[in-house]
Structure 1
Amino acid sequence: MERYIYRPKSDFALLNLNKILRSKVMKQLYKIKELRSFLILWGSQAVSSFGTAMTNFALIIWAYKQQGTVSSITLLSVCSYLPSILFCFLAGTLADRWNKKKIMLICDFIAALGTLTVFILYSTGSLRICHLYVINFTLSFMNAFQNPATYVAGITYYSKGAFYTSKRVASFL
């Protein structure tokens, strides 16, 4: 069976088809270019959130191996989530007034310092469960600032035409 290949009857139809294809491709490329800053922000925050989640999971497993009690894991989870819940309204208000990029950078830097501290303490054999409580409390407090700053900063990076596309991408974070 022979495949059907579209062959225009005239050069005018071929030229018109090329214009249509180019305009659709160009619109898609323009939309991606328009979202470039947002995609960089979204990608970096996705990597940061993934790293934080993996660290928290590993710390919970380590804490259970060390203590062998559910209460230590429960207290670790409380230290991981309670500050975000308690300070989210205050942090959201302050994040609206302050520079969003600086807030995100400072919070990511402190998260990296917390992870580095855990690594150093673990490597030297001096990591204790009380260290994890303090570090998780601090990281959760920083997340209370970072989440609203990231949300608001994302809004500033796209135009009205790319609003829905960027909101769909951001919903995965």
Structure 2
Amino acid sequence: MYRHVLKKKQIRCYLASAGISQLGNVLAGLAFLFLSYELTESAGLTTVIAITQALPYLLFGLIGGAVADRIDKKRLLLHIEFLRVPIIMSLVVLYYAGSLAFWHLLVVSFVIQSFGCFYNPAYRAVLPLITTRDERTTVNSLLDIVTRGVQVLGPVFSIGLLSTGYTIHFYTIDALTYALSAFFIIQLHWVEPSSRVSPGEKKLQILPSILEFFRWAKGEIKMRTLFTATFLMVFFNTWVWQVGLLLMLLSNYPNQGEAFYSLLLGWYGAGVILVNVVIPFLWKRLGSSP
């Protein structure tokens, strides 16, 4: 089945765009942490940068999904890709102008991740529009393999870049991945689901639908608990894993801490993939045992 779906140009372009874009995201995420510490040498401010990479998903995650359902997805994806290129490259320009400051990293990190809140649900929503029902599970599996594979290879790839001493060019590569991703998205063609509601009316429905959800969630204790638990998990993952581990490595290995951190992220990603493969297998075996 994998061979069958990969014969289709649409699917190859879809997977290529996802993988390339994910590589840029991984490298940019590392660069924000590394450069924030290099500029400030502050654990607290480095933590703030890490939080700005997670906070937008708590603030705009629901809004992004609602927007993706109601506007032209291809136009949205391309607009975001083309906007991200100059925004991320502004950091490179500021660096070579000798003007790069912590607050630049803070703003750009928040903006880029906020774009992701709209980009990711729209991109996922494209999959059923370019595949048949029989292909969907296979392509979704391939998409997961590609994105998780890049999460493993991205940090390992970054070790070679770190050896050059130009961490700032993580952003240059990130900008290139956005441009390449846009190229592959342009190759995709699909028909948006038909609706009796006009595009203008769909846009007007975005805010009411979000408000309606929050009114419903307000009375649901389970939903409030879920949001609180999600926030706490994101916060502690940000502090303990992203920042705590990085600072520990930098303090013990000043010259190689960033490379060790990237390598550990790669191993962590490999472990996640292995667990995702093994658990369904074990679950199936346990379910079939007498």
Coarse TM-score class (shorter-chain normalised):
0.7 to 0.9
Residue 106 of structure 2: aligned partner: 133
What CA deviation, in whole Å up to 9, does each residue of 1:75-118 have, x standing for no partner? 11111110122111011011110111111112222221222111
Give the letter aligned to residue 82 of structure 1: L
Aligned to 1:92: 65
Counterparts of 1:62-77 in structure 2, within 5 Å, are 62-77=35-50
CA distance in 1, matches of 2:61, 2:88: 22
Q: Could you tell me which residue of structure 1 aligns to residue 55 of structure 2?
A: 82
TM-score relative to the length of structure 2:
0.48
- Cα offset for 1:29? 6.2
Aligned 8 A contact 1:76 1:136 in 2: yes
1:12-37, Cα deviation, whole Å (9 max, x unpaired):
xxxxxxxxxxxxxxx87654334x21
Call closer, same or farther: CA 1:80–1:31 in 2, change over 3 Å: closer
Change (3 A) 1:58 1:45: same
Structure 2 distance, partners of 1:49, 1:28, is: 21
Q: Secondary structure at the match of 2:7?
A: helix
Question: Secondary structure of 1:78's match?
Answer: helix
CA distance in 2, matches of 1:117, 1:111: 10
Deviating above 2 A after TM superposition, structure 1's stretches of 4 or more consecutive aligned residues are: 27-34
- Residue 33 of structure 1: aligned partner: 7
Is the contact between residue 88 and residue 144 of structure 1 (CA under 8 Å) also seen in structure 2?
Answer: yes
Matched residue type, 1:33: K
Change (3 A) 1:131 1:152: same
Pick aligned residue for 1:114 from 80, 84, 87? 87
- Return the offset for 1:45: 2.2
How far does residue 41 in structure 1 lie from its aligned partner after superposition?
1.7
Residue 136 of structure 2 corresponds to which residue in structure 1? Answer: 163
Greater Rg by CA = 1
Distance 1:160 1:73 in 2: 45
Q: Deviations over 1:29-87 (max 9, x none)?
A: 654334x2122022112211211220220221111111111111111111111012211
List alignment gaps of at least 5 residues for structure 1: 1-26
What residue identity is the alignment partner of 2:7? K
**Within 2, Cα distance between the matches of 1:153 and 1:113?**
25
- 2:68 touches 2:122 (CA, 8 Å); kept in 1? yes
Which residue is equivalent to 1:61? 34
TM normalised by structure 1 equals: 0.78
Whether the 8 Å contact between 2:5 and 2:139 is mirrored in structure 1 is no
Does residue 154 of structure 1 match 2:143?
no
Matched, 1:145 2:125: no
> Residue type of the partner of 1:64?
Y
Q: Kindly report the root-mean-square deviation, in angstroms, between the aligned alpha carbons of the 2 structures.
A: 1.7
Quote the Cα distance in structure 2 between the aligned partners of 1:79 and 1:41: 28
